[in-house]
């Protein structure tokens, strides 16, 4: 819950409460390390909280979308599409491919490393 509060803080609130959020980073790391390998929901929830306490934009509030559905925009035409993860429908004929982990940079590489180190193979592939 505290992670959601930190993730929703505006610039003024962030400046005011940043020292308090920083105190919660070790707690969030410990909780993340204790997430059961087969419980991707708990892992993603705790990782999202850690990112919120660190002040990471977007992923601190949107990471949980990796568990279900997220929206993407076509880089060519700009059309929006919803991607439903884990959905097995006969009328879908587009296969999604995960990025090559060796080519990830920045927050993508960091999120992938967290998932791999946490034994969260399914999350690593989705992220």
Residues 63-106: tens digit of each pLDDT: 887 777 667 777 778 787 776 665 565 555 566 677 888 999 99
Please tell me the distance from the alpha carbon of residue 49 to that of residue 61, in angstroms, as a whole number. 8
Structure-model confidence comparison of residues 127 and 24, the more confident one: 24
> What are the pLDDT digits (tens) for 103-125?
999 988 998 899 999 888 878 77
> What are the pLDDT digits (tens) for 31-68?
999 999 888 889 989 999 999 999 988 787 778 877 77
- Let me know: does 6 contact 60? Beta carbons within 8 Å: yes
Please, what is the Cα angle at 126 between 55 and 26, to 5 degrees? 35
Which of 57, 58, 54, 62 lies closest to 18 in space, CA to CA? 54
Per domain, the residue ranges of the chain are 2-94
- Let me know: does 50 contact 3? Beta carbons within 8 Å: yes
| Structure confidence at residue 81 (pLDDT) | 74
């Amino acid at each position: 819950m505290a992670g959601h509060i930190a993730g929703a803080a505006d610039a003024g609130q962030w400046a005011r409460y940043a020292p308090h959020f920083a105190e919660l980073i070790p707690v969030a790391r410990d909780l993340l390390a204790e997430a059961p390998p087969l419980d991707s929901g708990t892992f993603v929830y705790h990782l999202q909280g850690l990112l919120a306490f660190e002040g990471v934009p977007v992923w601190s509030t949107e990471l949980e979308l990796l568990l279900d559905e997220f929206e993407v925009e076509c880089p060519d035409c700009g059309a929006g599409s919803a991607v439903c993860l884990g959905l097995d429908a006969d009328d879908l004929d587009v296969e999604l491919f995960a990025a090559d982990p060796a080519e990830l940079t920045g927050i993508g590489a960091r999120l992938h490393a967290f998932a791999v180190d946490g034994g969260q193979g399914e999350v690593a592939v989705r992220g």
